[in-house]
């Protein structure tokens, strides 16, 4: 486990933060296996609500459905946030949507007129290409603790196949590099705002925002092998899909987008 580079130094990040609880407990690392694993270990030893683990690179970064997350050094943001304040059940799905809203707001705030969409339930798209992924895990404890993992493509200038046709970064779209510490601070601010909104008001305002930003509305997709048309997001955060001529609510599914 190496030391972080200067642009992700702990003091530098702390100087940018304008939050009350997100990131006020902060661990910044160089090369790690996974920030999710590090944050889970910190949670087990008493790390507080809002504890944030940030790394310059991961050798085993992971996304949803067991997929890996490309995590080279010196370019992007890889972080995991410990959330203890949500006690109404242990379902990570609504929290995933709230985090997606926070990431989308962060990306939108950094570009002039960028189109930022959410591909339900856990990807954020910049001008139609993936720029961020979200993985929320519950540790099964009572009350539950959630580990919120986020990978945000910040300064990567190129992607290897097959990502070169589907992914993008902030720097690629803006034509300039970004200060990773400043981007992290803005992300922490948006995370704090959306998580607090979710805790106070429930899933409905979160679901409404995801529906407003929903990517590929009207597209055809295979959901766990069943072909359907995406209609929108319901007030409970479920994906509304037309299957066999009937609108159905989908809460969890492996989605494969199909060409028309």
pLDDT along the chain (260 residues), means of 10: 84 96 97 94 94 91 61 92 77 91 97 93 96 89 86 94 92 96 98 96 96 94 85 95 88 70
pTM: 0.93
Say what the pLDDT of residue 60 is: 61
Burial of 242 (0-12, 13-18, 19+ CB in 10 A): middle
pLDDT of res. 107? 98
So what's the pLDDT on residue 253?
65
Helix (H, G, I), strand (E, B) or coil at 195: helix
Pick the CATH number of 6-212 from 3.30.1010.10, 3.30.930.10, 3.20.20.10, 3.40.1830.10: 3.30.930.10
Q: What is the pLDDT of residue 205?
A: 96
Dig out the tokens for 154 from the structure.
């910040």
Which residue in 128, 62, 97 sits closest to 204, CA to CA?
97
CA 203 to chain centre: 17
Among the listed residues 60, 10, 4, the one whose alpha carbon sits nearest the alpha carbon of residue 36: 60
Distance CA 150, CA 1 (A): 20
Handedness of CA 179, 154, 101, 137 (dihedral sign): negative
Q: How far apart are the first and last CA of the chain?
A: 47
Predicted local confidence at residue 66, as pLDDT:
57
Return the pLDDT at 114.
Answer: 96
- Output the pLDDT for position 68: 60
Domain spans in the chain, listed from the N-terminal domain onward? 6-212, 220-257
């Amino acid at each position: 486990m190496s030391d972080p580079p200067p642009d992700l130094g702990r003091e530098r990040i702390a100087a940018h933060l304008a939050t009350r609880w997100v990131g006020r407990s902060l661990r910044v690392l160089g090369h790690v296996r996974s920030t999710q694993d590090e944050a889970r270990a910190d949670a087990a030893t008493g790390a507080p609500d809002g504890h944030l683990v940030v790394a310059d690179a991961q050798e085993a970064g992971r996304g949803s459905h067991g997929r890996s997350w490309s995590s080279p050094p010196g370019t992007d943001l890889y972080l995991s946030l410990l959330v203890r304040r949500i006690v109404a059940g242990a379902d990570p799905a609504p929290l995933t949507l709230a985090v997606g809203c926070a990431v989308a707001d962060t990306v939108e705030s950094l570009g002039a007129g960028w189109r930022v969409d959410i591909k339900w339930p856990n990807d954020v798209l910049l001008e139609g290409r993936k720029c961020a992924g979200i993985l929320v895990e519950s540790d099964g404890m009572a009350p539950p603790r959630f580990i919120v993992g986020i990978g945000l493509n910040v300064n990567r200038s190129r992607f290897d196949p097959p990502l070169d046709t589907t992914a993008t970064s902030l720097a690629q779209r803006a034509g300039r590099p970004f200060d990773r510490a400043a981007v992290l601070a803005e992300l922490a601010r948006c995370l704090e705002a959306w998580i607090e909104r979710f805790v106070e008001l429930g899933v409905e305002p979160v679901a409404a925002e995801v529906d407003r930003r929903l990517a590929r509305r009207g597209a055809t997709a295979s959901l766990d092998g069943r072909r359907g048309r995406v209609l929108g997001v319901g007030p409970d955060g479920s994906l509304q899909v037309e299957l066999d001529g009937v609108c159905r609510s989908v809460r969890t599914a492996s989605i494969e987008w199909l060409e028309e």
